[in-house]
């Protein structure tokens, strides 16, 4: 049942992101990724609000947590999950690990992207 909950939330989040991308492109153009920046900031704010809310509300059920955080916000932006992971490491006092996670995520994600582009452009 958890998979279905995440699936439904992810569909909603992805649909909202698509709408934001379309609106942002129309209103602001495509010279700068305003839509992606907006989605990442709003998604990170939302996951922070929800994580804090669910942490302080014992009656909040796991299905709702999965639906909103993993599903809707996961579909809306994976950057929100990254931001929450960094915040957890920081709040635990593990600044070295938080910094390493930030650097590894950015560097290796970009490396993976460029590796994929290279492979397809040169071997496909």
Give the C-alpha separation, 71 to 47, whole Å.
Answer: 11
Query: Does 52 reside within a domain?
Result: yes
First CA to last CA across the chain, in angstroms? 39
Query: Does 58 reside within a domain?
Result: yes
pTM (2 d.p.): 0.76
Query: Does 110 reside within a domain?
Result: no
Query: Does 87 reside within a domain?
Result: no
Domain that holds residue 58: 2-77
Query: What six digits make up the tokens of 77?
Result: 């932006």
Query: Does 30 reside within a domain?
Result: yes
Query: How many domains are there within the chain?
Result: 1
Angle, helix 79-91 to helix 95-123, in steps of 10 degrees:
150
Q: What is the pLDDT along the chain (124 residues), one digit of tens a residue?
A: 999 999 999 999 999 999 999 999 999 998 888 998 899 899 989 998 998 888 887 777 889 999 999 999 999 987 888 998 999 999 999 999 999 999 999 999 999 889 999 999 998 7
């Amino acid at each position: 049942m958890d998979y279905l909950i995440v699936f439904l939330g992810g569909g909603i989040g992805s649909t909202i992101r698509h709408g934001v991308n379309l609106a942002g492109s129309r209103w602001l153009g495509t010279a700068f990724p305003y839509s992606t920046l907006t989605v990442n900031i709003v998604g990170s704010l939302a996951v922070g609000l929800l994580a804090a809310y669910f942490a302080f509300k014992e009656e909040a059920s796991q299905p709702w947590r999965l639906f909103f955080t993993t599903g809707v916000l996961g579909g809306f932006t994976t950057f929100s999950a990254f931001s929450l992971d960094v915040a957890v490491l920081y709040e635990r006092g593990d600044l070295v690990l938080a910094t390493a996670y930030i650097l590894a995520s950015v560097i290796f994600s970009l490396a993976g992207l460029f590796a994929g582009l290279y492979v397809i452009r040169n071997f496909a």
